[in-house]
Structure 1
Amino acid sequence: MAVLLLWIPMRQKPGIDTVLNVLLVGPSAEIGLAVLGEPEALWARILLFTGGLLLLAAASGLYIGAQLGPGPRDGLMTGLHQSLGLPIWFVRTAIEGTVLVLGWLLGGSVGVGTVAFALLIGPLINLALPIFRIPEPQATPILPPSARPVIDSTL
């Protein structure tokens, strides 16, 4: 929730997905871990990590592209992108790198997957956004009477 406060100077607006993201990501992860368990084989761990990383990037592209409201880090990412003009991939990598370093400084563990996530999620979201972006509707211009088409009623 504290990340949402960083949105204020960038005039980011929450949407329905912002609220759902805050409320459901943690419980969904817990349910997923309970259902799938923790595989022992390295190949299975790599497969699950890769699938999860790709799914997260695609899902981010879907809900950001549909303008349903970004999650907390996504809003920070899009806000910084719009404010500073930096590429999405760079902004997201910087955010995740900052979170990784802060977590490590606070005593968290950093593994290969943590570093891979921090380095790869930004470029993957950068790829997913244009694929899933829904174009904003174009405003229909109101034509002055002299520019309106003439309809021939003699036909």
Structure 2
Amino acid sequence: MEGQSRTAARTARRLVHLYAGLVLYGASAALQVRAALGLDPWDVLHQGIAKHTGVSIGLVSVGVGALVLLLWWPLRQRPGLGTVSNVFVVGLSMDATLGLLPQPHSLGVRIPLLVAGIVLGGVATGLYITAGYGPGPRDGLMTGLHRRTGRSIRMVRTGIEVTVLAVGFVLGGSVGVGTVLYALSIGPLAQFFLRVLAFPQPSAERDGGEVVARGGRPVAEPAGGHAILHE
């Protein structure tokens, strides 16, 4: 009975981590949009598409996530609860936050918004990854291509990020100092918050894992080899 209670409590905590992480990630992306100093590669693409379609950036994120998820089928990737939730919750949270935040014009406001957005993204990543409910659709695409092609994570990651960033830039997405700052800082931030937010593990499972930071989405590769990633 006590074991069942502990399992239920742990599951509840994991679900809180999952959905808090997804909501906060959407909010962090919205802060970066309002900062108008550059977005991560995928949001550059989302913003570029939004400008040409008239659809909100959050809904574009949902649509792109769903399309990317379809690419999992030939790669034989299996989505989890976190994968499906990621597609919808991040974009909706992003739109909701943008609806609450006016567009500032002063750099004295925009710079702190950028910094806050990036740090919040690190917190969100730690929450989402420690929940352990599966990779986001874009990161699952990366690991799927890695497994199918035999190319390194770094090579596949770079190819996807450069392509997405280039297309988004051509479409009018925001590229700037924020793009570079995000790429350089999200990995260390994610690693830090993964340690802070990790659930206690039995001694046999304490091998930890490696975080590989993509230009917009950090990746956790646990000892068991199953990739848990943030979108």
For Structure 1 versus Structure 2, the TM-score category normalised by the shorter chain is 0.5 to 0.7
Cα deviation for residue 42 of structure 1 reads 1.0
Seen in structure 2, the aligned counterparts of structure 1 residues 49 and 118 have a Cα distance that, compared at 3 Å, is: closer
Cα deviation for residue 112 of structure 1 reads 0.9
Counterparts in 2 of 1:102-141, with a 5 A limit? Answer: 102-105=167-170, 107-113=171-177, 115-116=179-180, 119-120=183-184, 123-124=187-188, 127-128=191-192, 130-131=194-195, 132=197, 134=199, 138=204
Alignment of 1:14 onto 2:79: yes
Q: Quick one: which of 66, 89, 100 aligns to 1:35?
A: 100
Letter of the 1:62 counterpart: L
Query: Which SS does the other structure have where 2:174 is aligned?
Result: coil
Residue in 2 that maps onto 1:61: 126
Normalising by structure 2, we get a TM-score of 0.46
Residue in 1 that maps onto 2:163: 98
Letter of the 1:48 counterpart: L
Seen in structure 2, the aligned counterparts of structure 1 residues 59 and 11 have a Cα distance that, compared at 3 Å, is: farther
Consecutive unaligned residues in structure 1, runs of 5 or more: 140-155
Seen in structure 2, the aligned counterparts of structure 1 residues 68 and 125 have a Cα distance that, compared at 3 Å, is: farther
Cα deviation for residue 136 of structure 1 reads 8.2
When the two structures are aligned, how many residues end up with a matched partner? 137
Structure number having the greater strand percentage: 2
Query: Which SS does the other structure have where 1:12 is aligned?
Result: coil
Normalising by structure 1, we get a TM-score of 0.64
Seen in structure 2, the aligned counterparts of structure 1 residues 138 and 13 have a Cα distance that, compared at 3 Å, is: farther
Letter of the 1:109 counterpart: G
Query: Which has the higher Rg, Structure 1 or Structure 2?
Result: 1
Q: Quick one: which of 47, 52, 56 aligns to 2:112?
A: 47
Shifted more, 41-50 versus 119-128: the winner is 119-128
Cα deviation for residue 108 of structure 1 reads 1.9
Letter of the 2:106 counterpart: A
Alpha-carbon contact 1:100-1:110 (below 8 Å) kept: no
Consecutive unaligned residues in structure 2, runs of 5 or more: 1-65, 206-231
Alpha-carbon contact 1:7-1:76 (below 8 Å) kept: yes
Q: Percent identity?
A: 41
Letter of the 1:32 counterpart: T
Alignment of 1:73 onto 2:126: no
